[in-house]
Chains A and B, each alone.
Chain A
């Protein structure tokens, strides 16, 4: 293993020499962020290579307005909000679910399937699933909706906050931060979408897109592959995660998503409204769409004073450059979502000392 690490490090050094400037590589997957910190990968890179944590954690990109929508439902009688644990402490403009956690109204689940079970077990309650995540979790939400439709589970609905990763990458490059030289692409998302999904980034922006799994060695070798492409000036899409990620991806999952969801414009925390970047339930399933079922208006949230999660997500600043980091914003008292989520850039930075 160490031989391969050395070879990769050599390639990175060569790229730094050739380009003669800082090379910015953005990862867009929270699991990559954590793996990079946990494995001390930053300590192994030449000084000229800078890793930036992009919008890869679904919790971190969830808009404040969406959280307020969830809170609105959590406050109603006879409602059960079924949510992934990570969402509990994410602040909206009106607080977080933490204030109702432990009450009968808020239940932590590990999957959309668990939420559907809750609905069946509590026929007298409206069970709303807080459906967040990228292409990784969206198919599971779709399956739960389909099952509810087929089985006639009338008290189940989802509040879809699902998002698509690729449009956000494009927006960052075109409108927020053109200093990003390449993307380390997410393993889980790519397993669903296929690595072909990143072709547009290479074609439109000429940036290398290299998919990696979560093993440290594979991440290091993916960074080396990015450097190789930069040296040769030939950006391309490449998957280092061949065992899991194919060009076309998981066609069955794509099919179920397409069957249940329409692609729509939508709000991202810190990035604003991004065209064709979110998933909304199709008309056929509208009675399982909590937005429609309970007449919820989607209003974008207001920025939280002082919080710079938006700039962190675009790679414009590092977490410790935010004035709140480590002061009022700490893991126990998070101000922004990047500190709340265990896969958020600020949380990982804090936990692992920023190295």
Chain B
């Protein structure tokens, strides 16, 4: 379906079905190898001196500044989170800037200050970087790419292949805050709200969770939201997943905004939330660890992994007792969300 009109559409970057099709049809056939093919948040590299995690991510969010964060904070936290959910302690970041001619230096400085502050708060250094400028119109103000390396926590092995029937699914807090904040700020939608992005580095909480044990797999539920992550788990493991609507932590303001604008919160991006699949026996303890940490106070066990099945569906049991399929979002929910 990538070739719907032979051109890249915004939705190809939406983290849903179209993104997945693009990677499988164009990226992997040209570049695939054992490490890349796993399509993890980070690549795990086995070196003689030990194993490290390596990741990279581009940031094109529009607008650049929003309640709860900005493109700079996002570029630090997002890449740190990709390392953290792979079970790695973030060690260092690179920073690459593509700047459109005409961007005010004051804006650039504000973004750099934010990057610096966020890095400092999270005890990580930007150790290398690059700056490029392009003609006006060839980029939209500023695009940022960060890469990160991390050190794997000893004894921790996370992966889709570790997931088993009966495992519980934990989300670390309220859903959809980042995505609904961005859309409400977009030009043309004068939607007054108290929404605030959840943009944050999750490593401090994830570190405690990994030490506690019982975690099989983690992913930060960014583009495509919880729906995309759970569908990835279902299709990769071949197992059904069932989640309960009345267990989903959702900020009421986010729900109202999503209802008003016709979005399903399950499809909306988060920038400071992870999904953890944990063993049945450790679930309550993992939840406890989350709830005792400032980053996970609203955490909840939202469902569980079912049996292997042909359809490998994600199903939601609604508050009223109905059931419906939670589909992999197609892609167009929200472009340029991070």
Contacts and interface: CB of A to CB of B under 8 A. Distances in A.
Contacts of A37: 324
A40 B1 CA distance: 28
A108 interface: yes
Given A38-B324, A39-B320, A343-B262, A330 B1 contact: yes
Contact of A39 (B190, B318, B327): B318
A332 B9 contact: yes
B290 to A, nearest CB: 27
Interface in A35-90: 37-44, 85-86
Contacts of A353: 324-325, 327
Interface residues on B, range: 20 to 34
A216 B322 contact: yes
B153 interface: no
A331 B45 CA distance: 39
A108 B332 CA distance: 17
Nearest to A114: B190
Contacts of B18: 332
A18 interface: no
Contacts of A34: 262
B310 to A, nearest CB: 15
Given A331-B332, A332-B4, A332-B9, A42 B322 contact: yes
Interface string B178-190: 0000000000111
A332 B323 contact: no
B4 A5 contact: no
Contact of B321 (A2, A330, A331): A2
A38 B264 contact: yes
A350 B325 CA distance: 10
A117 B190 CA distance: 12
B322 A40 contact: yes
A355 B313 CA distance: 12
Contact of B324 (A5, A86, A355): A355
Interface string B138-180: 0000000000000000000000000000000000000000000
Given A351-B327, A352-B324, A109 B188 contact: yes
Contacts of B263: 342
Contacts of B330: 330-332, 350
B331 A108 contact: no
Given A40-B316, A41-B320, A110 B190 contact: yes
Contacts of B319: 1, 39, 216
Nearest to A343: B262
A335 to B, nearest CB: 11
B26 interface: no
Contacts of B331: 332
Contact of B325 (A44, A107, A355): A355
Given A332-B4, A332-B332, A351-B264, A43 B9 contact: no
Closest 6 CB pairs of A and B: A40-B322, A353-B325, A342-B262, A40-B324, A216-B320, A108-B188
Interface of B: 1, 4-5, 9, 11, 18, 188-191, 262-264, 316-325, 327, 330-332
24 contacts: A1-B320, A34-B262, A38-B318, A39-B319, A39-B324, A40-B318, A40-B322, A40-B323, A41-B320, A42-B322, A108-B188, A108-B189, A216-B318, A330-B4, A330-B330, A332-B11, A332-B331, A332-B332, A342-B262, A342-B263, A343-B262, A351-B264, A351-B327, A352-B327
Given A44-B322, A85-B188, 18 more contacts: A5-B320, A38-B324, A39-B320, A40-B317, A40-B323, A44-B321, A110-B189, A216-B319, A217-B320, A330-B1, A330-B4, A332-B9, A332-B331, A332-B332, A350-B327, A350-B330, A353-B327, A355-B325
Interface of A: 1-2, 5, 34, 37-44, 85-86, 107-110, 114, 216-217, 220, 330-333, 342-343, 350-353, 355
